Structure 1
Amino acid sequence: MLTLLYTSCDPSSDSGSTGFMENVTAESVDAKVTPVVVNGKNTNRLVIENHSPITSQWSASQLAEDAVTSSKAYDTIYVTKLGENTVTMHCKNIGSDFTKDFNVNVDEISYLSAELQKRLCVEGSEGNYKSKIASIKGQPAQFGTEFDKAKVKVVQEIKEGVKGNVFTVENDNATLADWAITKDGANEPMATANLNDDKLMVVEPGHYTLTLTYTLANGSKDTYTVSTFDVEDLTTVPQLLQYLKGGENGDGTTTWEWSKKASSVWGNGPFGSGNKPQWWGVSLTDIEGQGSGKNGGAARNGTNASFTLDMNNNTATNADGTTLPIKLNVLEHKDASWDQGTITFPTVTNDKFVIPMGVNVNEGNAAFQKYYVLVSSDDKLVLTAAESNGANAWFYVFTKKTKK
């Protein structure tokens, strides 16, 4: 039986003699960061300690997720990169605030965070992770530093001999994957994905190039052009696309205006819950005043504002004439049980946006780039866009405008 010996060694520390009333400084703070050692190797589990009489907040940047933080005086955190990592101690003192960096070296990624497990498509516990990818299911899995092109697989959907618009992608390497498929002549990918076992869907025929940007455990990245593909027809037509095109007998365009039935047509609420404003909302009548103070004025944002989605040309046009390219991704979700996909405006600016009131009023009226579709039925369209904190969101309630 293999016995794992857990110890802590080679701490990155800074010690000083301090009393409770002393004015602790970066030079005198008694604190350290120590990697947990397994079988002689520094793992990515880090023990943080603060023995000084001072309030502290620890943070460590990650490769594929937000920084890990802790406000405890003694805790175990993690990093997700091999090699040198920096843990920052933010301290609030009697006289002033200061930060202190601790550098630690990681030899092995023994612990996989929930985000790494999701991206790598593995399951299990520390020291015993297994792949969930069908072709290598059950094989030991980890986050590593080797990449073999032969372990990348792509299958294009073909129905009745027609080359279709859905691609099943697989990366059997122990690396992170960022997939992108781009139509010839386009500046932005039509679809992206970031799981090692994933799918890509494009929404129009054409010639495409599929790339994989892989990230190794040491943080290095490279992009591999997997192949090019011809999409002859939409062998799978997303329901959302069909709806935005106006249905089976539509002309590929739909126009949307503020709902005349909703009590609130715009407002905020929690990101990831509900399908209308829940905390604070503005009625159709009052949206005129709100919209007049935003870029584009009442014409772009007010009571009579509207916008048209042209799914034939992948553009959106506000009634004031503002037109931008859009990207529909029916496979991108905050939560697949909550939203139906995303509509993204890659070239949006704070002055040039299409969705009425499409700005984050809590962050300087910065224009939103990505909207999640929450409702697309019965001539209704409800969108939401998240603030940068990922917790708050703005909701937009529209109804289809009758064509003349």
Structure 2
Amino acid sequence: MKNIIYALYMLVIVLVACDPIENRDSIGGAISADQLDVTATPIVVNGKKSNKIVLTNNSPVLSSWDYGLKISQKQCDTILMVVPGNATIAFTGLNPDGSKITKDLQVTVDELTYPVAPQWGYLCGSGQKTWVWDETASSCFGNGGYLGNNSPGWWALKIGELDGQAAGEGEGASMVFSTTGASLTKNYTNGTAASKGKFDFDMSKTTADGNGATWAQGVLTTSNVTVLCGISINEGKKNVNSYDILSLDNDKMTLSYHAPGTGGWGEAWFWLFRKAD
């Protein structure tokens, strides 16, 4: 029964594929990777390859397109790349017999013709960027007043004092933000293996201070990893995975966290980073 349902599903895919499919193997057969008819084509605007890519699968297989940030499982789709340059889109096809076939498609983006959030470039550069503590600031970690301070205003630590709070995450430690899988990798200095997870941001989640001015310009979230010293010390050093973005540009980033229910001038924590040299 399961095979019959799958065969009917594949028949529907063939009938509604982006282009007519001719001379294909019969339903139930399997094709090889060199028989795949799949393309990834940038839309050209004013003679330049834009960051809008048209994905087309004219083969009798189910689709999975891994383009770094996300995975599309549509037969045909249009996606946006968030940084210029060369990129690989990995296609995986699922045959009716359950076997998988793969093909890498190379694309080049000349310019970001179609708008994307600039924070991708701020965080990841042209594909990945390394961030470290901002030792040029008067302090780079500590607490202060929620909605009142923009950096540690009460208990403030310099870079040489951070290992006492999170071993291996002080001076010399780093974070790498990458557009590949929207990944965040934290590198330690004490021999601990690097930890890796994912990140996302939402710049619609702004926060105003008591006077109505913008205090936080968005929210950064992480999963399976935190930023360096990403803990709430007075909550049992629990991991923090959601941060207010107080400032972010190509060179510097300031993040903050407050416990749920915190009011103005209640306790907030602050992290100050800069891009690595």
Question: TM-score of the superposition, structure 2-length normalised?
Answer: 0.54
Q: Distance in 1 between matches of 2:175 and 2:51?
A: 33
Are 1:239 and 2:129 counterparts?
no
Q: Distance in 2 between matches of 1:314 and 1:208?
A: 18
- The residue matched to 1:338 in structure 2 has which SS? strand
Any stretches of 5+ residues in structure 2 without a counterpart?
A: 1-44, 53-63, 82-113, 189-193
- The residue matched to 2:255 in structure 1 has which SS? strand
Does 1 or 2 have the higher relative contact order (CA < 8 Å, sep 6+)? 2
Any stretches of 5+ residues in structure 1 without a counterpart?
A: 1-159, 165-183, 187-202, 210-228, 292-296
Q: Distance in 2 between matches of 1:287 and 1:327?
A: 25
Tell whether the 8 Å contact from 1:205 to 1:230 is kept in structure 2 after alignment.
no
Larger relative helix fraction = 2
Given candidates 313, 327, 337, the residue that maps to 2:200 is: 327
**CA offset at residue 243 of structure 1?**
1.0
Corresponding residue number in structure 2 for 1:397: 272
Corresponding residue number in structure 1 for 2:184: 316
Given candidates 134, 158, 170, the residue that maps to 1:259 is: 134
CA distance 1:372–1:231, change in 2 (3 Å): farther
Corresponding residue number in structure 2 for 1:383: 255
Q: Distance in 1 between matches of 2:201 and 2:226?
A: 15
Alignment of structure 1 residues 5-404 onto 2, 5 Å: 204=69, 207=72, 230-233=77-80, 235-246=114-125, 250=126, 252-291=127-166, 297=167, 299=168, 301-320=169-188, 321-335=194-208, 337-346=214-223, 348=224, 353-377=225-249, 379-391=251-263, 392-402=267-277
% identical equivalent positions = 26
Q: Distance in 1 between matches of 2:183 and 2:51?
A: 25
The number of aligned residues is 176
**CA offset at residue 337 of structure 1?**
2.1
Letter in 2 for 1:283: K
Tell whether the 8 Å contact from 1:332 to 1:341 is kept in structure 2 after alignment.
yes
- The residue matched to 1:373 in structure 2 has which SS? strand
Letter in 2 for 1:358: G
Q: Distance in 1 between matches of 2:162 and 2:51?
A: 47
CA distance 1:256–1:390, change in 2 (3 Å): same
Letter in 2 for 1:322: S
Q: Distance in 1 between matches of 2:159 and 2:269?
A: 15
Q: Distance in 2 between matches of 1:358 and 1:163?
A: 34
CA distance 1:285–1:314, change in 2 (3 Å): same
Q: Distance in 2 between matches of 1:185 and 1:280?
A: 48
